[in-house]
A and B are shown apart, each in its own frame.
Chain A
Amino acid sequence: MAVAAVETRTTYKLDQSWLVRLFDNKPFLIAICLFPAAALLLVFLSYPLGLGVWLSFTDTRIGRPGYFIGLENFESLWYDRVFHTAVWNTLLYTSVATIGKFGLGLWLALLLNNNLPFKSLLRAIILVPWIVPTVLSAIAFWWIYDPQFSIISYVLVDVLGWRETYIDFLGQPWPARFSLIAANIWRGIPFVAISLLAGLQTISPSLYEAAMLDGANAWQRFKHVTFPMLMPILAVVLTFSVLFTFTDFQLVYAITRGGPVNSTHLMATLAFQRGIPGGQLGEGAAIAVAMIPFLVLATLFSYFGLARRKWQQGEDND
């Protein structure tokens, strides 16, 4: 009987249509399930990226096909003072803004982690700068920094009388840079604060209790419990934050367009300026491509520098 049963089953299997057999085939199934995702990646990520890289080696202009010119775009950028300023600005902008965002964001997260009245309402409010479309907040900041109609100048000069003249926020290189950095920090704090808050809440209270029993003060508790426990999420948030800041475009373009005299151009705004209004697609693409090494470096730094600690790999923390 048993033998017969097996035979029946075998016969049945042979009756399966080729389609059913095909779908039982593991490699085929993997390929077909991956296909939509792979196609999306290819069409919307790899192709534009590849095209961008290719364009950077050509002298394409808007509306005119270009020819391969090798590294000429990059050579020209190498001697381009505006490009140097843009690189320097981008590094300054990213580092100062990231430090600001993390300092204030961590502080805010620690405050919010305490038991406060209306906790969830407060957390919702904190998110507002992050939710508002960047262009809208950029326009708000543009008015705040306006040389003639700034609310800050108005309060300082006309209400309080502390100053004689209106502040020229955007008319000089350094004030303009720091004005933009301040706007970026304002926008970025919620992301950092909320992410770190999520991290803080995963830390077991018993660790703090144990530390307190050992007589650790608040600073020691922060340094030896909170900070190491927060490290993994800190690394992820830092990576994202650096990437967002490094590629920022909207704030700068809406507030200064890279002025005064190109002193606030970031690489992203300069790439757009050269590529689209300036019409030099090839050169714009070259600037954009020049951002890639920096981005890869920043990512690697955060990843290896912060994330891959021993204790995270499950080994003893000796």
Chain B
Amino acid sequence: MSISRRDVLIGGAGLAAGASLLQSPALAQANIEQGATLRVLRPTKFVDPDQAIFNENTEAFTKATGVPVRVDYAGWEDLRPQTAVTANTGAGPDIVVGWADDPHIFADKLIDLTPIAEDLGKKYGGWYPIAEKYGKKDKTNQWVSIPMGASGAPAVYRESWVKEAGFDTFPKDLDGFLRLCRKMKEQGHPAGFALGNAVGDGNAFCNWLVWTHGGYMVDENNKVAINSKETIEALKYAKALYETFIPGTLSWLDISNNKALTAGEIGVTQNGVSLYFSIKNSKDEKTAAIGKDLNHATMPVGPLGRPSEPALVINAMAFKHTKYPNAAKEYLRFMMEKEQYDKWLTGCYGYWAQPLKGYATSKVWEADPKIVVYRDTWERALWSGYKGSINEAAGTVNAEYVVVQMVASVCAGQATPEEAAREAERRAKRYYRT
């Protein structure tokens, strides 16, 4: 049973007609097909300049190669189904800048990107290991996608309130973090982490929590392993930490922590860099003043011994159904080259942190010392589906809030840590069966 009827949603083929026949000498070596045109689908912007700069870079590609490119922007929640339909029907965009796991689900329908990925790696100081994990087909050395950026989720906190609580710097360990949150709560500045069905923020907090305690959803062989001692420790810690939260976090959606931090209701949360800039650049003076007091820090590290914040990854893939594979590959390479990529990275204030180590020296990371922590997003991140493969089941477990609800049910007092871990195991097994 196919769901080809859904390709109506993509808005028809609508390939840009009238391809330019002009070809610049530069593309002779890339072998771009005569009369090539491309269609690109990517998620809609999260910070304002994202879309404008992406379009500028695309125009630069058209100018350099004569290949007209049409870029479509899909809403965050629509992107995944649209990617799936494109893959399944072999129609629609040639390139999709999709979510983290998507290229792995459709790996056999994608063009091999190994040559450009290796070139880019050589040229720009190598890929971060997690970026390689996201780019390469599971347990092979074949690149099926080009990770383009990741939005991290470190702690965002109010500097003055942390000082008031008697901490010179943001604590690096779990005990210190709990003490800080307790103290801040006493002083009327509770913490606030989303525990509702918030697909971004809820998963960010709960995955960090489980991972940093040494727990994981599946082991290296994709066997469900969430019901472990480590998970139960994590849940006990969560329960204690939850006491220091502002009331109502069980119903928080993705936007709620942004609202609460902007209003000065909470002293610490977790978010991408966008929140800092939206507060700092606010036209309202009171809000802008909060921006001066904000800072970022790596989330505390527990028994795992390494940072373990999840990151929201965008992962570009080119489909085999494209008529112009060389043009598609060339487009991806072009967008990752310094002239284009650095402009995009900088213009987005570092929202999409670089997967290539060379860009760590980009000017964007010098502009404001407070955002430096986002520079190492790929360094700290663990992947979705850690320790197993990046696959469909991992995506579903996130979308179904299995980890979030495990944590939330313990915090709400609806389940003991043991019960919650068992329930999460039961649910995950259903998605991980083959």
Contact = CB atoms under 8 A, between A and B. Distances in A.
Contacts of B81: 62-63, 276
Contacts of A277: 77, 80, 199, 399-400
Interface stretch (B205-213, B228-236, B246-254, B326-334): B246-254
A279 interface: yes
Nearest to B266: A148
Contacts of A260: 195-196, 250-251, 408, 412
Interface in A163-182: 165-166, 168-173, 176
Given A63-B85, A278-B400, A166 B250 contact: no
A199 to B, nearest CB: 39
A273 B400 contact: yes
Contacts of B281: none
Contacts, number: 115
A258 interface: yes
Interface stretch (B214-222, B257-265, B354-362): B257-265
A55 B106 CA distance: 21
* Main secondary structure on B side of the interface with A: helix
A166 B247 contact: yes
B394 to A, nearest CB: 11
A65 B408 contact: no
* Main secondary structure on A side of the interface with B: loop
B83 interface: yes
Contacts of B246: 147-148
Given A65-B2, A274-B400, A280-B396, A256 B251 contact: yes
B3 interface: yes
A279 B395 CA distance: 9
A47 to B, nearest CB: 9
Contacts of A168: 247-248, 251
B91 interface: no
B248 A62 contact: no
A256 B3 contact: no
A259 B196 CA distance: 6
A135 B47 CA distance: 25
Contact of B408 (A60, A81, A169, A259): A259
Given A63-B105, A276-B81, A281-B3, A259 B88 contact: no
B84 interface: yes
Q: What bracket does the count of chain B residues touching chain A fall in?
A: 35 or more
B412 A261 contact: yes
Interface in A145-173: 145-149, 165-166, 168-173
Interface string A254-268: 001111111000000
Contact of B1 (A58, A169, A280): A58
B376 interface: no
B1 A63 contact: no
A64 interface: yes
Contacts of B405: 261-262
B59 interface: no
B430 interface: yes
B270 interface: no
Nearest to B406: A261
A221 interface: no
Contacts of A65: 1-3, 88
- Most-contacted residue by chain B among A63, A165, A168 (CB, 10 A): A63
Nearest to A67: B1
A278 B246 CA distance: 29
Nearest to B4: A65
A183 to B, nearest CB: 14
A149 B409 CA distance: 24
Contact of A55 (B1, B87, B259): B1
A66 interface: yes
Interface string B76-101: 01001101110110000000000000
Interface in A47-88: 54-55, 58, 60-66, 76, 81
12 contacts: A55-B1, A62-B81, A148-B259, A149-B259, A168-B251, A170-B250, A176-B251, A258-B197, A261-B414, A278-B396, A279-B395, A281-B3
Interface of A: 54-55, 58, 60-66, 76, 81, 145-149, 165-166, 168-173, 176, 256-262, 273-274, 276-281
Given A147-B247, A261-B408, 12 more contacts: A62-B80, A62-B81, A63-B88, A147-B252, A148-B248, A171-B248, A171-B412, A261-B412, A261-B414, A273-B400, A277-B80, A281-B3
